Structure 1
Amino acid sequence: MQRLLVIGPCGAGKSTLSTVLGKKLDLPVFHMDQLNWRPGWIESSKDEIRARLADIVVTDRWLIDGNYGGTLAVRLEHADTIVYLDYPIRLCVLRLLRRIWKYRGQSRPDMTEGCPERFDLAFLFYLMRWNSGPRIRTETQLKGHEAKIIRLQSPQELDRWLDSL
């Protein structure tokens, strides 16, 4: 495992896992949220994100967390391992709400400084519709990469997998 991709619904714990795995495997960690957002919640252009990713994915060792469907193909192509936190949405909603409360008014460690955590109803609805939209698009993009996927369906499965490393 030298080029890892961590994906899953919002609130699943992708960034937390990435931080743990990065330390455990001594890999540089890149958060898609940091690659995408500039201070003040200004979104980078697709070309800017693609250029940043192009420089990362050609290196020998990395861990990138985040879905960002528009750039998933290039990351899937270069990844040797895909960790998919395929958790129940009710758990992810609970974790998302807990995260919003914990970091309210400040930037999370995995987010660009100057992007304070806030409640966003549209984002919550996006997560609640994960199984009927984003999940389907993600699963479609994963076709052909099944041999690289480690699909974990609960925090307990994740703990067992981490213990086995």
Structure 2
Amino acid sequence: MTGAGKSTVAHRYATATGLPELSADDQIGWLPGWTERDPEDQARLASSLTAGERWVLDTAYAKWSGQVLPRAELIVALDYARWVSLSRLVRRTLRRVVRGAEVCNGNRESARRTVARDSILVWHFKSFPRKRARIRKFIDDGDVPVLRFTRPRDLERWLRQVESTSNSH
């Protein structure tokens, strides 16, 4: 879900396990000036970046996920209630606007961009039902094991377990 914390989770998991961390937004999806990379280039990059044996990817865009997911060993799905992911997204967006923080590839959120028709907040509303259905499909298909978290505290418990297990080796 947009705003649920996928990138943060991917970062913590990659750090704990020592696996290479890949960012869909930074490395695949977006160019400077909020220009979306050509879909064919995205698919090529996604395939290339995940060609290695081990990696952690923070998300898989639907347009190229079919090339990446068959190589995955695990999907960690953050299937939170809309209010959870939306409240996180609003806080994160406001923080980025106020601080002028870079999102990816030199791109920054702005007050104007936050209220635009193609804003991340609008995207959240447009994509939420589709992303929830996609998680259910991953589970139903059974091609790749799925850890589905519906509450942040359950995810946090799992991450702490991963981190403590990794630190003990």
Q: Same fold (TM over 0.5)?
A: yes
Q: Which residue in 1 is equivalent to 2:17?
A: 25
Question: Structure 1 residues 150 and 59, CA, compared in 2 at 3 Å: closer, same or farther?
Answer: same
Determine whether 1:106 maps to 2:101.
Answer: yes
Aligned residues: 154
SS for the counterpart of 1:40 is coil
Task: Give, in whole Å, the separation in 1 of the partners of 2:71 and 2:86.
Answer: 30
Determine whether 1:14 maps to 2:6.
Answer: yes
Q: Which residue in 2 is equivalent to 1:145?
A: 142
Match of 2:49 among 43, 56, 61: 56
Structure in which a larger fraction of residues adopt helix:
2
Question: Structure 1 residues 66 and 86, CA, compared in 2 at 3 Å: closer, same or farther?
Answer: same
Q: Which residue in 1 is equivalent to 2:129?
A: 132
Q: Deviations for 1:1-57, whole angstroms, at most 9, x for unmatched residues?
A: xxxxxxxx0110001111111110101111111111011101100111111111122
Deviation of the 1:64 alpha carbon: 0.6
User: Are 1:89 and 1:127, in contact at CA under 8 Å, matched by a contact in 2?
Assistant: no
Question: Structure 1 residues 30 and 61, CA, compared in 2 at 3 Å: closer, same or farther?
Answer: same
Which structure is larger by alpha-carbon Rg, 1 or 2? Answer: 2
TM-score by length of 2: 0.81
Computed over aligned residues only, the root mean square deviation of the Cα atoms, in angstroms, reads: 1.9
Task: Give, in whole Å, the separation in 2 of the partners of 1:140 and 1:53.
Answer: 21
Question: Structure 1 residues 67 and 83, CA, compared in 2 at 3 Å: closer, same or farther?
Answer: same
User: Are 2:2 and 2:124, in contact at CA under 8 Å, matched by a contact in 1?
Assistant: yes
User: Are 2:139 and 2:145, in contact at CA under 8 Å, matched by a contact in 1?
Assistant: no
Structure 1's consecutive aligned runs of 4 or more residues displaced over 6 angstroms after TM superposition are: none
Deviation of the 1:137 alpha carbon: 4.1
**Structure 2 residue runs without a partner (length 5+):** 163-169
Task: State percent identity of aligned pairs.
Answer: 27
